[in-house]
Amino acid sequence: MLQQVIGSSGYQRCINYIWRGWLMQDDNKPAHFVPYKEKMNTSYWAHFHPDRMRIPKYQNLVQVFFSIIYLVFYTMAINSINPTGDLDVVEGLLYIFTLGFVCDEVAKLVKVGRFYLGFWNIFNSTLYALLTASFITRMIALTHPVGADSRISYNILSYNLLAFTAPMFWLRLMLYLDTYRFFGAMLVVVKTMMKESVIFIVLLGFVCVGFLQAFVGLDQVDDDITETSLIIKGMIAGVLQSPDFDAFDKFSPPFGVILYYIFEFIIAVVLLNILIGGPSRLSFPALVRLTMNSSSL
């Protein structure tokens, strides 16, 4: 039933009209939408109205614009490191933008409440928290004398935190680019595949715990904690498809290396099922339903 409603021409026309601003909120009754009277006017200045900045299309374009400017400031800041720890103009603008985004998130959370929280809100909050930690560390560095080891160490830590957020800056653009057909459809597909793969990830966890207990039991040489650390690192490398068979030769040979071969085979089978099982559940009607909103915009 929901698929029929979303796919109906009237529903799609309504969403398209709201997106383009042909239906606008009434100033007196925000819950009501009224037709935009100048929709058919071909004059540019007739559409250049402050109220039209409220429509989703223009809001999204403004958010994309400021997100790109934000990314440019970050790129300039991370590529112009100040050894003395002083803040330059670009870094100042970067942190001012961060403060603005934090205030915007807090204001929306206060107005909407806990229902505002979602994946992208938590993602952005994590990014802003790391940038805030970088700024605080930089301020701590400025309290120490120039050339002191403590100032240099705090300055390095600040830039490390700043560099650590680089992938999050680029992924943040996906929040606003998902309104375009290509990005929106791909994000929906990836999100659905991850949800469908949860059962395989749980199975992978049970497999890893079982083999970890087996390897620890085979390690009868001594109680050195480094052996357990070696086992965990080797298993993580195996899950990431970079196995180290030589490291397990000393675990009660030949049982350790044989068990590691079995572990690698099972891991490969589980990961292959994650790759195949997730997309296979995305039937064509389901994919059309999931991407309907993105393709209509």
Residue pointed to by tokens 């929709």: 39
| Largest Cα–Cα separation, the chain | 84
Residue 9: both structure tokens together? 């021409």
The answer to whether the CB of 277 falls within 8 A of the CB of 202 is: no
In a domain, 187, yes or no: no
In a domain, 117, yes or no: yes
The answer to whether the CB of 272 falls within 8 A of the CB of 191 is: no
Predicted pLDDT of residue 11: 74
82 shares a domain with 6: no
In a domain, 44, yes or no: yes
DSSP 110: H
Q: Beta 23-25 vs 33-35: how paired, if at all?
A: antiparallel
In a domain, 186, yes or no: no
Predicted pLDDT of residue 294: 46
In a domain, 168, yes or no: yes
Q: Which amino acid is at 21?
A: G
Q: Please say which residue of 148, 177, 206 terminates a domain.
A: 177
Phi, psi (deg, nearest 5) at residue 64? -65, -40
Domain ranges, residue 32: 2-54
Q: What is the DSSP string of 40-59?
A: T---HHHH--GGGGGSHHHH
Mean pLDDT by 10 residues, the chain (297 residues): 67 79 75 78 76 78 88 90 81 91 88 81 90 91 84 89 90 78 74 74 86 79 61 84 78 79 86 67 49 47
In total, how many domains does the chain have?
Answer: 3
Predicted pLDDT of residue 293: 46
d(CA 273, CA 207): 14
d(CA 286, CA 105): 33
